[in-house]
Structures are given as structure tokens and as C-alpha cells.
Amino acid sequence: MLYCLGKFEWNKEKKYFFSFLLCFFVIAESLGQNPKKIPIDGNRWYQLTNAERGLQRLFDNDLFTSLEPQFGKIISLYESYYPLLKGEKIGIDSIRFYDWNGISTNPFLLYSIDSNWNKRLLASFDGTKYNRWVGPYPERPDIIKLDTPAYNIMYLQIIADNDFPSEIELYGSYTAPQPTNPLVKRKIPLGNLLGINGYEWNFSDPLIDPFSIDTNRLNAVKYFSGFRHYMDWQKLEYRQGSYTFSPTRSGSWNYDAIYETCLKEGITVLACLKTLPTWMVNSYPDSLQDLENNPVFYGKDLNNPASYIEQAKVAFQFAARYGKNKAVNKNLLSVFDSSRFTGDEINQVKIGLGYIEYIECENERDKWWKGRKSYQTGREYAANLSAFYDGHKNTLGPGVGVKNADPSMKVVMAGVALASTDYFRGMIDWCKQFRGYLPDGSVNICWDIINYHLYTNNPDLNRAIAPELKAGFNNADSIAKAFIQSAAIYLNNMPVWVTETGFDIHPGSPNKAIAIGNKSILQTQADWMLRTALLYARNGIMKQFFYQLEDDTPNSEQLYATSGLFGDQLTPRPAADFIRQTKALFSNYYYNTTLNADPLVDQYLLNDTTAMYVVYIPDEKGRTGLYTLDLGNADSAYIYTPMAGAQSMQLNKQKTNNGKVIITATETPVFVKGAGKLLMPTMTNTGIRIFPNPVKNALTIQGLSAGNNQQINLFNTAGKRLYSGITRSNTFQVDTSSLPAGIYYVEIRNNLQKQTIPFIKSN
């Protein structure tokens, strides 16, 4: 029973106050004197739908902050999972929910799943008791103890729509997990982040000769280090069971020549097998026919790997031809070996050409905007991948799955459109249940590389934003860190790729770059694309591919229609120039460390010894800033600036001041290398110094504490403050040109410390 002391007044503040007292007595009665609350990490929950926000607020100790409703979910009543980590144990004997939001449309259900995958309903919540704690059974809201405690828990599971309690607390026993895998820092060449998306026609002219490589088109592709090939299933299997490669039955493309050319030119190819062939699309009702449907015949079970056998068979044929394994059973291979017309090229069976190292199973399998016919949950896509990878552990018969043709070929998961780790974590848990574990105790995973897509735009602004900036709760940096961290925890530091990112140039696109100051939209696109690659290098992303080589639909305001890095007549836009120039000079350098946040200063290394620095302002306001870069005992600084319309970067050589050089940072990255050696390294004052002194125009203050707020004040001899500014850089400039000649003082304040330095202003 519930008791309330005092008069219950319907005043807002007292209402909260008395409600709190009321709940307190119920808790004390139900839990006893020493309840043990089980710690739940709200970030660990993942959701099997296209939810953009997580469930953290359910476990944040805030009773009056609820989850925001998320509408437009492809699966409205969906599952969310909380996996226990290695060594972690919980036993639940009591559960309570805080009812703050009103009556639920659909009941909220909480389950446990044990190590044998048995699921048990633990609690439900219906929202009928406003502004109080309730227990796990709606008909007995005052009792929070479970009728039967729950043990041997491997997962917690929630099934809900948009109706949640505002807080959940679990009580019982708890054993903390073992330490998770530490992040592995890899030496990733910057060139790995300079790939491009494209098609067959980026190599061959379909109007002249689709079977031959066109030199002009190839030269455009050579601006980049990698090529993600959008490869339609239709081209490989025009008729079911009849495979074509060179020429393809649809389009007459010469895949052999394209891939061989890329190998010779040092361009890494990711073959992205996507879309459905017409013979599979035709199995759908007219109203549901779409080339981007889920890759199964209509009516097939999306949770069954056998439903995807047709796609897994064409993957086997592709891997047998273009992989490195020359011992594939030739009897398992077939091609369409008839001519279509006089003089036609004839397909031939080929084995182990060694042209392709990576294959991607579909593109954006989470297409929620196309409806359920084109959307797979993470668990459904894992079933798809299990067939594609190795014929679901070789249970689907011969000639099925990539690894059964070439064990060395790497399978890349489809890049997800919603950049959330939820999707691949659902894939992991499907593998635990249906593929089991390897002898070393790791999960028998059916892919080799994690992959996601991210376009940094802000719907509220109806445009793209600089890659370092935040839209909503996340930005590209935090999302990359989440993927890298999850890869370490759950998949032993599996590599993470970003295979689509970019910016439109049409002013009507919601993903448009913007003109900034005297920079055009094209120049901003170039800045942002290069900075995107640098951001992902900083975060440990292994490969990146820009979207895309040419515009999809020139002069269109549609989303992603004008993202091309090349314009009309294959004219390179500034973005292409920037990427080419960076690739030419610094492709083999790898990110080492960040020295400063704003201006952003990253250090790259070559062969663990030779240093290069990237300096820029991570913003979109046209800001500039100064940074004093320490190049050790270098006599000179070589400063490289990307240039639009040029073959190479602009090189500016400057003498250092005892190994230091002042860099003027803008929103275009510059690359700096030291050159030569100081003949007589001299001792330098490690404190703050100002120069020139006397000064006519700009007074430079050097040696400030980078990363900390510092106030810069300027006084005359009468003690009157003439200027005040704030900086977080190690270098700052004050314009003194308007001051009359005389003696002045610059004051630097940093926390509780103050330093004052006199200087002379001359005419």
C-alpha cells in the first residue's frame, strides 16, 4: 500500500516533491534495506530498426527526461538488445520502471535471453500509473520483485514502439566484465583514404567502344588510389545460371580489361555487387518491383541463408574468376559462351586471375526509405552474408559463396546508409546464434570489413556542413570513433571503411556545399572533401571512397545528383585537383598524432621517421589563425598548398626561426615539411615572446599555451586597456597599426597566471 505524509497540493513543484516521497516509501518497502542496483550502460543497447537515437535516457538516473519519439521507423514494434560482455554476469530479482509519460499504445516488454537462446518475459510496462515507480507486473504495480529471479542471462531484450518508461532500474547480482580489447593503432597510408565511387563507363565509352579502355577516362580514375565499382548483378547474370564477364551480356562491358588495368595502375578495386537481375525482380508483384529490393525471390524468408543462394552463387563465380585461387574446380564454373552477333567477343571460363581482393555484398541494405521490400535488419542481412561468405558454412552445396572460391578474398559488409553501429552489432549476434564460435573462442563472423556511409549535412539548414561540425547529437568524428571502438570491443579490431561520402554543388540540394567568403561552392567542396579524408585518417578508418567520379544527374537539385569530382567533358573540379595533388605527394604518409585542435595540426610520418604536418581551420566561416610549428632542427619549411586547376600543389619555402615557422591557417589544409638542418642549433627561450619590437603593424605573440583559453590585453602607459581578445592557439597577432607611437604593454592571462611584456610602437 502507498502512504503520503501531508496534504497533496496540485502545485507543480510540490507535486513533484510529494510524488518523490510517495515513490520513496514504495521503494523502501519493496527493496529492503540494501538493494543492489545493476549497472546498465545505456550506450550498449542497439535497435533493430532505423532508429537515429539510442536508449541511453532509460538508464541516465533522470526520472523526468523521456526518450524522444522516433517516427518513420521501418519496423515500428521492434527489438532492442543489450549483450553482456565477456565475463559479465547479472542475476535479476527486482525491476522497476518510472511512469512519467502516460498510457502506452503498445505495451513495453522486457525479456532475458539465456546462453541457450531461450527467451523469457521478465516485465511489461503499460504507462497507466502516472508519475511514480511501478514494478514488472502492471496488475501488481507496487511489487517490484520478480516472481522468479532470472539468471544465466546473455542478453536483455526490449520490444517496444514509441512508448517507454522514463527510467528503468534492475536489481540483483552483478559481476563486471573482463577488460575489453584495446584499440589497435594502425599505420594507415593517407592514400587509402583517397578512393572514388564509379561505374564501368568511367573506363570505357559506351557510345564508341564499351569493350575497350578509354585513355581519357582512365586518366580521370588515376586521380584516385581506389575505385569502388558499382556492379549490377544483371551484368554478371543476364539469365539465371548464365554468367558473363567479358563481355557482359548487358552492356558489353569488358570487366577483365577494367580490373587488369586497375591492377597495373595500382588502383585498388572494391567490387560492389548490387541490385537484382530482371529475372528476380519479375518474381515480385508489379507494385513491388524494384531493382533495389532485398536480394531474394518474392516471398522468401529473409532470416534463412538459403533464401540468398542465387546471389551467393554469382559471388562464387566472380571470386573464382577474379580472385587468386587457381585451384577452383573448373566443373563448377560456367559462362555464356555463345556469340550474339557476327564478330562478337565470346566469354571464356577463367580461373584465378588475381585482379580483385575485395568484394562488397550489396549496397545500403538498410534502405528504409524504400519500404520493407528493400530493408533488411542487421540479423536478416547477416543471414544474407552467411550465404554470400561461405555458403552458410558450406551447407548450401558446391559452388556457393566467396570463400569457397577464394579464401583470401575479403568480404566487405554493405555500407549502411544510417551511420550507426546498431546494424552490424545485430549482425554479430545473429552469427553467435546461427554460426557459433571458432576454436579460439571468437564468433564465426561472415564478413571481413565493417563499412558505413556518411554525408555530413544538417536537415535544419537544408545543406551540407563542414565535416568537423556537429549536426544533432553526432558528427563525423564521434561516429567514426564509435565504429572503431565497437570494432575493438566486439570484433577484435576488425577494419572499418567508409565507402560513401561527399557534397553536392547544386545550390538547391540538401547536401550542397556553400560559398564561404571569397571561396566558391566548388572550392568549398574541395576543402571539405580533403578534410573529410584527413578526419578519417585521424580516426583510424582504413579506407574511404568519395561519392562519386561524375555527377549522377548534372544540373539537378536532387540529393547526391551533383556530387561529382569531375564536370563536363571530364574536366576536373577543384576537389579532384586537391585529391590528386595530395595523392601524388603524401599518399604513403600515415597519421601519427594531433598537436593542436584549432588550428587543427596533425603530424604524419613516412617510414616512422620523416614528418609531415597538416594545418587548417576546422570550420566553415572563413576564419584564419596562426600556429607556430616546431620543425626541430630544420633550416627551412616547405609549405604545400592545394591549388585548383593545377597539376601540383603550390610550394612556398620559408626559413625557420631556430626550427620554428609561423603558419597562417585557413580552411584549406596546408602540408608542411621541414628541410635542411640548422648549422648551429641555438638555445631558445621556452617562454612567451613578442616580435617585432619595435612594431609598426602586426605584433606577434608566440609561445602561448595551445589548447587553453588565454586572454590577451593591450594597455597604454596610463593603464587604459586598448584591446582584449581570446585565443586557444600557441600564436596570436594584434593589429597595432592605428596606435600612436609610444610604449605599450601586452598582458597574457592564463587561468590564475599573468604575464606582462612591454613593447614599442613606431611610426
DSSP tag of 42 = G
Q: Do 590-675 and 689-761 have matching folds?
A: yes
Res 686: pLDDT = 47
Q: Report whether pLDDT(24) > 60.
A: no
Express each pLDDT in 366-402 by its tens digit. Answer: 999 999 999 999 999 999 999 999 999 999 999 999 9
Asked whether the predicted pLDDT for residue 2 surpasses 50, the reply is no
Work out the average pLDDT over 327-353.
Answer: 93
Please say if the pLDDT value at position 718 is more than 80: no
Q: Could you tell me the pLDDT band of residue 658, with boundaries at 50, 70 and 90?
A: confident
* pLDDT one-digit tens code per residue, 259-273: 999 999 999 999 999
Whole-angstrom distance, CA of residue 333 vs CA of residue 346: 15
Q: List the grid coordinates of 294.
A: 532485398
Instruction: Quote the cell numbers at residue 208.
Output: 564508341
Q: pTM for this one?
A: 0.88
| Phi then psi dihedrals of residue 209, to 5 deg | -160, 90
Q: Which grid coordinates belong to 570? A: 571530364
Closest to 479 (Cα-Cα) out of 453, 458, 461:
453
Model confidence pLDDT, tens digit, residues 530-586: 999 999 999 999 999 999 999 999 999 999 999 999 999 999 999 999 999 999 999
Gyration radius of the chain over CA positions: 31
| CA distances (Å), origin 639, targets 262, 457, 653, 655 | 32, 31, 6, 11
When pLDDT is cut at 50, 70 and 90, the band that residue 683 belongs to is very low
Phi and psi angles of residue 476, each rounded to the nearest 5 degrees, phi first: -60, -35
Dihedral sign for Cα atoms in the order 418, 420, 424, 430 = negative
* Residues 154, 91 contacting (CB under 8 angstroms): no
Torsion of CA 620, 550, 276, 445, to 10 degrees: -50
Burial 678-688 (b: 16+ CB within 10 A, else e): eeeeeeeeeeb
Q: Which residues does 732 contact at the CB level (< 8 Å), separation at least 6?
A: 626, 700, 701, 704, 710, 712, 725
- Residue pair 494/487 in contact by the 8 Å Cβ criterion: yes
Break the chain into its structural domains and give their ranges.
12-175, 227-259+267-409, 590-675, 689-761
What is the distance between the alpha carbons of residues 516 and 504, in angstroms, rounded to a whole number?
15
For residue 393, give the C-alpha cell: 558454412
C-alpha cell at 313: 552463387
Contact predicate 337/350, CB 8 Å: no
CB-CB contact of 412 with 362 (8 Å): no
Architecture of the 12-175 domain: Sandwich (2.60)
pLDDT tens-place string over residues 738-749: 999 988 889 998
Range 689-761 classified under CATH 2.40.420.20: no
When the candidates are 2.60.120.10, 1.10.10.60, 2.60.40.10, 2.60.40.1180, the CATH number that belongs to 590-675 is 2.60.40.1180
Residue 679: which pLDDT band, with cuts at 50, 70 and 90? Answer: low
